Structure 1
Amino acid sequence: MANKLHLEVISPDEVFWDDEVDTAVVRTIEGDVGLMNEHLPMVSPLIVGRIKIVKDGKAREASCAEGVVKIRGNRALVITGAVEWVDEIDIERARKAKERAEQRLEAKKNDVDLDRANIAMTKALNRIKHYERLEK
């Protein structure tokens, strides 16, 4: 266990992951960052992307909204607005969210709606991309 990293991933809805891992990869504003035991202390914003978790040599990926990662010693904490395993993505829901965002972007009502539509579009495209990559 000494070479393991304790990773906790939480969202407003749940504690998504709380266990020891070999490594994890998160997408920060500066690119992908690999997390491992005794990583240099760090706090960084996360962008919409993925979290790759490797436990006992087996990798699993989750689609992730924006958030923050904090790591110190052998503990890492990821706080995100939303997270789900790629193999559990409801692809039809993601495609409908993309369509709604496209409609809002075309309507161009006001700046707030455009910002929300752009965020919704980014999240939907992220979920679709990860799902389709898994299907190949």
Structure 2
Amino acid sequence: MAEDLSHAITVKIVTPDGVVYDHHAHLLIVNAIDGELGIMKDHEPIIAPLRIAEVRVQRVDGLDHENHIAVNGGFMEFSNNVATIVADSAERQRTIDLSRAQLAKERAEKAIAAAEAKHDKDTARRAQVALQRAVNRIHVKQQ
């Protein structure tokens, strides 16, 4: 079955390790700092900083074909019907190791407790970010 690209955008997710995702889509949903954004063909050009959150892509090759990607912040640029997400790290749902993510969550929770006991705000903040990343990966994997 040929894909209908007449209403499609291209979605690319890039990290320092390379391209994590590159497909055509009808709809891209990201969590920007200011709230959730839905991007479709011919959307106005935009640059938006992203939260540590799930990115959802409704692909053109099936109405029920949606990809879920755990993105750890970064930013999204959209212009000329191409959405490019640049992030420090990103993982597709199918490649997330759930047990590894759960261990990362447990480590972060312990680090937060230890840092708070020592009143170490910097370490507590870093551990909070690690916890957000782990929870995001777990959430995406369980979709």
Task: Please give the TM-score of this superposition, normalised by the length of structure 2.
Answer: 0.85
User: What secondary structure is seen at the aligned counterpart in 1 of 2:50?
Assistant: strand
For residues 27-84 of structure 1, the C-alpha deviation after alignment (integer angstroms, 9 at most, x for no partner) is 1112221111111111111001111112223211111111101111311110112111
Superposed, 1:105-124 pairs within 5 Å as: 105-108=112-115, 109=118, 110-124=120-134
Structure 2 Cα separation of the partners of residues 22 and 62 of structure 1 = 16
Structure 1 Cα separation of the partners of residues 133 and 107 of structure 2 = 12
Aligned to 1:93: 100
Query: Alpha-carbon deviation of 1:23?
Result: 1.6
Aligned to 1:29: 33
Q: Which runs of no fewer than 5 residues in structure 2 stay unpaired?
A: none
User: What secondary structure is seen at the aligned counterpart in 1 of 2:16?
Assistant: coil
Residue 125 (structure 1) aligned with residue 132 (structure 2)? no
Q: What is the percent sequence identity of the aligned residues?
A: 27
User: What secondary structure is seen at the aligned counterpart in 2 of 1:40?
Assistant: coil
Query: Alpha-carbon deviation of 1:91?
Result: 0.9
Query: Alpha-carbon deviation of 1:130?
Result: 2.4
Query: What letter is aligned with 2:107?
Result: R
Superposed, 1:1-136 pairs within 5 Å as: 1-56=5-60, 57=63, 58-108=65-115, 109=118, 110-132=120-142, 134=143
- Which 4+ residue blocks in structure 1 deviate beyond 3 angstroms? none
- Total equivalences in the alignment: 133
Q: Which has the higher strand share?
A: 1
Structure 2 Cα separation of the partners of residues 4 and 12 of structure 1 = 26
Structure 2 Cα separation of the partners of residues 127 and 87 of structure 1 = 11
Query: What letter is aligned with 2:11?
Result: L
Q: Which runs of no fewer than 5 residues in structure 1 stay unpaired?
A: none
